[in-house]
């Protein structure tokens, strides 16, 4: 294996396992492998570990167990009050969260609803993604009402108090010193390494990167044709997350939970990410898929949560996420998606191990795909595959 590696990896080193990617699946797999006594190295192209924000304590049992082990705390989302839907004509409709704002029977609203759903779930327009892929993605989370829900058992029921990086940072602390190497993109994986290259020798490799990243890595010998065929059919969605901070959560005094979806934009989805104990704390709405900047977002917040009244009296600042500039973070998308007409082709081959390579990451999960719980499940699978393979190989020696 060769890569652009910082000190101290300029010299040849030998490991039982190299993990490519320090997302939650990669870090947890490395931890499980080290607990099994295997020497492990984790290479991460970015300059930090990565995580996510949402969990629940029932259907996401793997991540909930890990949260308790790591003493990570969470807040339950406010969902027992009103949400808002902004219709295609800009009209704002209040409804109790969990219900339906109106009974849509027109094709315009039906198409707009599908667009909001794909924006919120995967950062794509419906025309950019296989419909069957979206349905399977929803099925892996237990259904539409579960994947989009802030209520018990839902995908957004609880939010991590310590922030999105908490899981990655704390799992990394469990690893042996020197295990994790940041700013270390892998450019080739060679089963017969050229000794002139900066290299690491390993018995097994676990790939955790999103499938589009595979296109940046040279595999020698090449992967079997089915894997690159699948990889070449995937692409990222894209999100811009806009954090709008206010002095007080003014929407709550009027009975709103802070959740809204809009058919007109510029923001597709709003979420309240304020703390419950907000005395002296800033409050914010996390806005996904925002295409405009501060003035347009504030105007939309005014229309949706304040009846058109000026909200700048409470405004503090707005921060835009850097996701759109981060190749290795998938441009902010929770998962790489399949183009229309590609679902069902080569999925088993993409997930299957091949020679000394193993493939995990939340993209390969069969439950809670795209979520941290799915990432943990694939880490368990990948670590088990590697441990079994090495035991078999060593038994033959």
What does 309-349 look like in DSSP terms, one character per residue? ---TTTEEEEEE-SGGG-GGGGGG-SS-EEPTT-TTSSHHH
pLDDT in tens, 212-269: 999 999 999 999 999 999 999 999 887 777 888 998 889 998 999 888 988 888 888 8
Tell me the average pLDDT across 297-307. Answer: 90
Judge whether 120 and 268 are in contact, CB under 8 Å.
Answer: yes
pLDDT of residue 280: 45
Judge whether 205 and 356 are in contact, CB under 8 Å.
Answer: yes
pLDDT in tens, 141-158: 999 889 988 888 888 888
Give the other-Cβ count within 10 Å of 221's Cβ.
9
Judge whether 180 and 42 are in contact, CB under 8 Å.
Answer: yes
Tell me the average pLDDT across 175-182. Answer: 94
Angle at 75 between CA 148 and CA 67, to 5 degrees: 90
Query: Is a pLDDT exceeding 80 seen at residue 386?
Result: yes
Query: What's the distance, CA 69 to chain centroid?
Result: 21
pLDDT in tens, 100-119: 766 655 667 777 888 888 88
Q: Which residue has the higher pLDDT, 245 or 291?
A: 245
Query: Is a pLDDT exceeding 70 seen at residue 282?
Result: no
Tell me the average pLDDT across 25-54. Answer: 88
Beta strand residue intervals within the chain, DSSP E? 2-3, 13-20, 40-43, 54-55, 74-76, 82-86, 92-96, 158-160, 180-181, 186-190, 200-207, 218-220, 234-235, 241-246, 256-262, 269-272, 283-288, 315-320, 337-338, 357-359
Q: Which residue has the higher pLDDT, 333 or 211?
A: 211
CB within 8 Å of 91: residues ≥ 6 apart: none
> Which strand ranges, in their side-by-side order, compose the sheet holding 218-220?
2-3, 186-190, 218-220
What's the burial of 260, exposed, middle or buried (CB within 10 Å: 0-12/13-18/19+)?
Answer: buried
pLDDT of residue 199: 67
Rounded CA separation 255/249 (Å)? 11
Buried b (16+ CB within 10 A) or exposed e, 315-338: eeebeebebeeeebbbbbbbbbbb
Percentage of residues of the chain with pLDDT beyond 70:
85
pLDDT in tens, 332-358: 678 899 999 888 888 899 999 999 999
Write down all domains in the chain, each with its CATH number in brackets.
Answer: 2-52+164-236+334-395 (3.50.50.60), 80-148+240-320 (3.90.660.10)
Of 183-192, 193-202, 300-309, the least confident: 193-202
């Amino acid at each position: 294996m060769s890569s652009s590696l910082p000190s101290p990896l300029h010299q040849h080193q030998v490991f039982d396992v190299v993990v490519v990617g320090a997302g939650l699946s990669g870090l947890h797999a490395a931890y499980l492998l080290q607990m099994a006594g295997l020497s492990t190295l984790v290479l991460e192209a970015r300059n930090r570990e990565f995580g996510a924000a949402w969990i629940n304590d029932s259907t996401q049992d793997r991540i909930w167990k890990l949260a308790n082990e790591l003493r990570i705390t969470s807040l339950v989302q406010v969902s027992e009050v009103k949400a808002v839907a902004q219709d295609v004509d800009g009209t704002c409709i209040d409804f109790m969260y969990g219900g339906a704002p109106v009974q849509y029977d027109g094709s315009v609203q039906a198409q707009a609803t599908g667009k909001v759903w794909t924006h919120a779930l995967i950062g794509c327009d419906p025309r950019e993604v296989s419909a069957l892929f979206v349905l399977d993605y929803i099925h892996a989370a237990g259904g539409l009402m579960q994947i989009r829900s802030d209520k018990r058992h839902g995908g957004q029921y609880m939010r991590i108090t310590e922030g999105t990086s908490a899981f990655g940072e704390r799992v990394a602390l469990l690893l042996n010193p020197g295990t994790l190497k940041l700013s270390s993109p892998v450019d080739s994986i060679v089963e017969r390494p050229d000794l002139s290259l900066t290299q690491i020798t390993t018995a097994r490799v676990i790939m955790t990167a999103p499938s589009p990243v595979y296109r940046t890595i040279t595999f020698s010998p090449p992967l079997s044709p089915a894997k690159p065929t699948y990889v070449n059919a995937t692409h990222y969605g894209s999100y811009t997350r806009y954090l709008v901070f206010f002095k007080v959560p003014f929407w709550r005094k009027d009975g709103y939970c802070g959740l809204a979806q809009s058919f007109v934009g510029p923001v597709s989805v709003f979420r309240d990410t304020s703390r419950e104990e907000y005395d002296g704390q800033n409050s914010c709405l996390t806005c996904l898929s925002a295409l405009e900047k501060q003035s347009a977002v504030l105007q939309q917040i005014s229309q949706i949560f304040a009846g058109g009244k000026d909200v700048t009296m409470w405004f503090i600042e707005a921060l835009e996420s850097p996701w759109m500039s981060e190749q290795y973070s998938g441009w902010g998308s929770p998962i790489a998606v399949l183009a229309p007409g590609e679902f069902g082709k080569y999925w088993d081959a993409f997930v299957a191990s091949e020679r000394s390579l193993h493939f995990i990451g939340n993209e390969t999960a069969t439950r809670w795909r795209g979520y941290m719980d799915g990432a943990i499940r694939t880490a368990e699978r990948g670590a088990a595959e590697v441990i079994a393979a090495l035991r078999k190989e060593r038994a033959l020696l």
